[in-house]
Amino acid sequence: MAAATSSSPISLTAKPSSKSPLPISRFSLPFSLTPQKDSSRLHRPLAISAVLNSPVNVAPPSPKKIDKNKTFVSRYAPDEPRKGADILVEALERQGVETVFAYPGGASMEIHQALTRSSTIRNVLPRHEQGGVFAAEGYARSSGKPGICIATSGPGATNLVSGLADAMLDSVPLVAITGQVPRRMIGTDAFQETPIVEVTRSITKHNYLVMDVDDIPRIVQEAFFLATSGRPGPVLVDVPKDIQQQLAIPNWDQPMRLPGYMSRLPQPPEVSQLGQIVRLISESKRPVLYVGGGSLNSSEELGRFVELTGIPVASTLMGLGSYPCNDELSLQMLGMHGTVYANYAVEHSDLLLAFGVRFDDRVTGKLEAFASRAKIVHIDIDSAEIGKNKTPHVSVCGDVKLALQGMNKVLENRAEELKLDFGVWRSELSEQKQKFPLSFKTFGEAIPPQYAIQILDELTEGKAIISTGVGQHQMWAAQFYKYRKPRQWLSSSGLGAMGFGLPAAIGASVANPDAIVVDIDGDGSFIMNVQELATIRVENLPVKILLLNNQHLGMVMQWEDRFYKANRAHTYLGDPARENEIFPNMLQFAGACGIPAARVTKKEELREAVQTMLDTPGPYLLDVICPHQEHVLPMIPSGGTFKDVITEGDGRTKY
């Protein structure tokens, strides 16, 4: 029997035991010691939660129709007993898993032993569990398939927390498996025990504590289904060590038990709803598309929609690449550090088509003033997002892909009747593009960080998969690299987790072995998971690291410059005793792991240095020394409006 948890407390049961009742320690048991006959309590309906980019359709097939296991050939005879850990690994194999990011420990050793007996699953060994979960995210974000990470109990499990929260906020399909102390020791403050189900309750879409070895096949099937259906998100499966060691004969034909969740999955949108949206488009003069992570799986349909309507496209940070950033109808990113013309378009629009977005504060600023002149159409797969921050005039709870397909059919059938023409509006926005282009200042021979990204974009022809940490370099990478396709851009958007870039690049490189993968990182973010250089070297992954090194915690420093009279409050990351030297020496980190590296300090030397990085087989680190005075612009201060946009100035100016 499994103890399953969701975002609110739930009463659960365990099978009767011959052992005496366990003492209750500082936290309560996640299951009841009193057996219950009513098993319906074990399957509380789940809410669709936390994710914008869905890798499956809204109305997935019934569990009874799933036939993944029909062609699977097990290495065990049907009636041959095997350990719970081997059942778990085979369950992963039956889900098509080829790669996991797993770091072993005492409570997960059995799983790792079972992994060595698998001929199809590769373990990419991270050097820290946070590196493992971020790598699993990079794998998922770049491929659309669920990422798998495994950790031991206690500190191993808690090291996954940032990655789970990140996947929750950015709607990333993830299955995290953790070892747990034996069932009889749960709740006793045993060595390396943490109640990880309770710890992660609010930052996972769902989680399980496995209390019966016979439940493993069903739980794993449910975990993958939950992670990838509806609004995707992370699911955690906690497996006590004695369950891993117990011998059993698995039943692979168990049905999933998710009736409440299945009944809540959105249905395909009604034709009448889509017709109403098309009517609003035909009546508008200044429409604009506002697309987010929920549009990543609908890139083709979105492109056709724009072709049929001629409506310009503004993207969120999560939505970059869903529509080509180099297209003339692209307004690029909107929001706090979005382009002036994207924010101008929203400010002056009369119809805002919000597809797969959640009206995040970094996009809207002051909510009351955001798109205040516009009628709002909101399409999202998660009903909880509809009207949460901004009340729409028309809403559709459903898959953006299906909605776009339906609207495209309506538009194609009524093309002659509608005769949409937004040429005057597009011309107005083109004038804004000419008047307020993305630009940057020069600092003599020093290298502007934006210029380094422009050079990378040019030399890779915009085809690289880009991961980032969090901070100024993240915003510049969003602004100055022109993403052509979805899943090229991997960044911790909602959580803003520093240290994300390097391990995410590992996951992306594993999922896309023939792609150019570049981690555009800052010195502050890079050093947070610098140990993953060892993983890159051992796995011989061709990850390139473009390190924009300004010796400061750049984004916080920018706010200090703008709002705190440039008072430095622990944002200098170098050695105060040797301010004229670059500290730490990032090249030595790379050298310690046998990774070739170089440093460039002059603008005239940059192009050749970037080309050398790209031409060098295998991994490479390029340390680009940048002036710390540069600011990310444009900038709308937090809680501000379009009228508050800042387009000038840097750290050389006093405010």
What is the set of active-site residues? Answer: 129, 191-192, 241, 555
Contacts of 368 (CB under 8 A, 6+ apart): none
Query: What pairs with residue 490 in β-bridges?
Result: 467
Helix (H, G, I), strand (E, B) or coil at 467: strand
Burial class (CB in 10 A: 0-12, 13-18, 19+), 134: buried
Whether 298 and 322 have beta carbons less than 8 Å apart is answered as yes
CB 377 within 8 A of CB 394: yes
Query: CA angle at residue 438 from 435 to 444, to 5 degrees?
Result: 110
- Report d(CA 231, CA 615) in Å as an integer: 39
Helix (H/G/I), strand (E/B), else coil: 575: coil
Report residue 290: phi and psi, to 5°: -125, 100
Nearest to 180 by CA among 140, 214, 207: 207
d(Cα 291, Cα 321) in Å, to the nearest integer? 10
Residue 114 φ then ψ, to 5°: -65, -35
Q: How close are the terminal C-alpha atoms of the chain, in Å?
A: 62
Residue 490 sits at φ, ψ, to 5 deg, of: -120, 110
Q: Which phi-psi region, left, alpha or beta, contains residue 462 (left: φ > 0; alpha: ψ -120 to 50)?
A: left
Backbone phi, psi, residue 247, to 5°: -85, 140
**CA 98/CA 650 separation, integer angstroms:** 47
Q: Is 253 helix (H, G, I), strand (E, B) or coil?
A: coil
As given in the structure block, the two tokens for residue 305 are: 């929609």
Residues facing 236 on adjacent strands: 176, 207
Q: What is the DSSP letter of 228?
A: H
Residues 6+ apart with CB under 8 A from 231: 48, 49, 50, 51, 52, 54, 171, 205, 381, 382
Report the amino acid identity of residue 251.
N
**Long-range CB pairs of 224-227, under 8 A, 24+ apart, other chains included:** 224/95, 224/146, 224/175, 225/60, 225/63, 225/256, 225/258, 226/46, 226/258, 226/261, 227/146, 227/173, 227/174, 227/175
Indicate the SS3 state at residue 119. Answer: coil
Residue 227 near residue 175, CB atoms below 8 Å:
yes
Task: Please answer whether residues 530 and 499 qualify as being in contact, where contact means their C-beta atoms are separated by less than 8 angstroms.
Answer: no
3-state helix, strand, coil split of the chain in percent (to 5) is 40, 15, 45
